[in-house]
Structure 1
Amino acid sequence: MAAQILNSLGRLGIGLAIGASVLNTSLYNVDGGSRAVIFDRFAGIKKNVVGEGTHFLIPWVQRAIIYDIRSRPKSVSVITGSKDLQTVNITLRILFRPIPSELPKLYSSLGEDYDQRVLPSITNEVLKAVVAQFDAGELITQREIVSSRVSEDLTERASHFGLVLDDISLTHLGFGREFTAAVEMKQVAQQDAERARFVVEKAEHLKKAAVISAEGDSQAASLLAKAFGDCGEALVELRRMEAAEEIAKQLSRSRNIAYLPPGQHTLLSLPQM
Structure 2
Amino acid sequence: MAVQLLNAIGKLGVGLAIGASVVNSALYNVDGGSRAVIFDRFTGVSPNVVGEGTHFLIPWVQKAIVYDIRSRPRNVPVITGSKDLQNVNITLRILFRPIPKELPKLYTSLGEDYDERVLPSITNEILKAVVAQFDAGELITQRELVSQKVSEELTERAAQFGLILDDISLTHLTFGREFTAAVELKQVAQQEAERARFLVEKAEQQKKASIITAEGDSQAASLMAKAFESGEALVELRRLEAAEDIALQLSRSRNVVYLPPGQQTLLSLPQV
TM range (shorter): 0.7 to 0.9
* Identity value in percent: 74
Residue 237 of structure 1 pairs with residue 227 of structure 2: no
1:111-153 alpha-carbon deviations (Å, 9 max, x no partner): 1000001100110000000000000111122112111211111
Q: Where does the alignment leave 5 or more consecutive residues of structure 2 unmatched?
A: 266-272
Distance 1:225 1:113, change over 3 A: same
Secondary structure, aligned partner of 2:166? strand
Distance 1:42 1:249, change over 3 A: same
- Following the alignment from structure 1 to structure 2, what is the Cα–Cα distance between the partners of residues 124 and 11? 63
Residue 166 of structure 1 pairs with residue 166 of structure 2: yes
Give 2:269's aligned residue: none
Q: Where does the alignment leave 5 or more consecutive residues of structure 1 unmatched?
A: 263-273
Secondary structure, aligned partner of 2:83? coil
Give 1:39's aligned residue: 39
Structure 2: which amino acid aligns with 1:17? A
Give 2:153's aligned residue: 153
- Following the alignment from structure 1 to structure 2, what is the Cα–Cα distance between the partners of residues 24 and 244? 118
Give 2:178's aligned residue: 178
Residue 63 of structure 1 pairs with residue 88 of structure 2: no
Give 1:105's aligned residue: 105
Distance 1:179 1:71, change over 3 A: same
Shift of 1:41: 1.6
Secondary structure, aligned partner of 2:70? coil
Secondary structure, aligned partner of 2:60? coil
Distance 1:11 1:222, change over 3 A: same
- Following the alignment from structure 2 to structure 1, what is the Cα–Cα distance between the partners of residues 4 and 264? 155
- Following the alignment from structure 2 to structure 1, what is the Cα–Cα distance between the partners of residues 118 and 215? 80
Structure 1: which amino acid aligns with 2:23? L
- Following the alignment from structure 1 to structure 2, what is the Cα–Cα distance between the partners of residues 160 and 36? 21
Give 2:200's aligned residue: 200
Give 1:126's aligned residue: 126
Structure 1: which amino acid aligns with 2:107? Y
RMSD (Å), alpha carbons: 2.3
- Higher mean alpha-carbon deviation, 232-241 vs 88-97, is at 232-241
Secondary structure, aligned partner of 1:134? coil
Shift of 1:219: 1.4
Structure 2: which amino acid aligns with 1:237? V
Secondary structure, aligned partner of 2:225? helix
- Following the alignment from structure 1 to structure 2, what is the Cα–Cα distance between the partners of residues 173 and 244? 76
- Following the alignment from structure 2 to structure 1, what is the Cα–Cα distance between the partners of residues 250 and 193? 60
- Following the alignment from structure 1 to structure 2, what is the Cα–Cα distance between the partners of residues 2 and 260? 146
Give 1:137's aligned residue: 137
Aligned residues: 260
TM-score when normalising by structure 1: 0.87
- Higher mean alpha-carbon deviation, 21-30 vs 173-182, is at 173-182
Structure 1: which amino acid aligns with 2:207? K
TM-score when normalising by structure 2: 0.87
